[in-house]
Amino acid sequence: MTKIPVAVVGATGIAGQQVLAALEGHPYFEVTALAASERSAGKTFGEALTEGASGSWRWYVADAPPSPKVLGITLQDARRLKLDDVGLVFAAVESKAASELEPIFAARVPTVSTARPHRMDPDVPLIIPGVNLDHLRLLSEQRRRRKWNGFLVTLPNCTATGLAITLKPLDQRFGIGALLVVTMQGISGAGRDLPALDIIDNIIPFIPREEERVEIETRKILGTMHGETLLERQIKISATCTRAPVLSGHTEAVSVALARPASLEEVTETFEQFGEEFVRLELPTSPTRMITVHRDPSRPQPRLDRDADRGMTTSVGRIRHNSVIPNGISYVLVTHNACMGAGKGAVLVAEYLKHAGYLA
């Protein structure tokens, strides 16, 4: 099989490195171009990872560093990226740069983004594999309206990812009226912006803009397509997002008001059966199940469960009735923010795009 040549933009950052780790040895895609800031342009990727006075290795993800071939690729300036021989772009840059650069890439080449600026554009699909792949129907309208040869697909906020994965099956079977969620988020989700001494022996009760993103993005993810128009799901969502002293993995305590009563057995069954059709595609980065349910009341825990199925499965436990909320169900979930919620999730989206014929 001829592999699709891909470019990773923002390769030296944490999100870009997560994408590169997921692409290492990939059967569909081959990394042929890397881009970063103007400051890093002209260096090999390996040189950029060791630059600085200390000469220390700046590979921030848990996976092993890329192959010597990838380390030897010369970084291009992201604003001058050559796209002639590229079949797919992974854009993993900061929000300000993403707002400017992603439309430039997508005008010519299919682009998968991990960044925020275009997530809520009405013609840009905000995709979680196995949850709302039908939203890719927006791409025909996007291309028509913008006169693009390529297209832009975005990934959600990593906190919204695990939440939406668990809400989708409940909404499909029982309907959802409203929900409350309290998150305890791993420090890797903060990138390099969190001072180490701030999180030791501590919980930080506020993450700027996080709660708003969870609320608005979840409504879009759970929306329904009417022709080539997406109607967002009109449900009430209240989120409280905190940072906890955990390396990776987001824990979320969720309470949902269902539209009709459901037994705990029905809820458990609904979680366990969700996504069966998608996982049967056996895409290279796909989990073997979307949700794993734990009967042990001490689970899920980030240290024990974030790496389930290589970080691609959401773990759920503590399923119980909530007598304060009408038809209320409460549960706890753990999801790996740096895997399904970031680089590996982006690669899984691209795998489905290839499977569905969106990539040449």
Catalytic residues: 158, 250
Give the three-state DSSP class for 75. Answer: strand
Give yes or no for a cis peptide into 169 (omega within 30° of 0).
no
Q: What's the rounded Cα separation, in Å, for the pair 222 and 233? A: 6
What is the phi/psi pair of residue 184, to 5°? Answer: -125, 95
Whether the CB-CB separation of 136 and 172 falls below 8 Å is answered with: no
316 and 332 Cβ atoms separated by less than 8 Å: yes
Residue 31's closest CA among 80, 85, 78, 109? 85
The single-letter DSSP state of residue 44 is B
Residue 78 amino acid letter = A
- CA separation for the pair 136, 152 (Å, rounded): 10
- Other CB atoms within a 10 A radius of the CB of residue 227 amount to 7
3-class DSSP state of 164: helix
Enclosing H/E stretch for 153:
strand 152-154
SS3 309: coil
For residue 102, the cross-strand partners are none
Query: Which candidate, 70, 66, 102, 63, places its Cα nearest to that of 5?
Result: 70
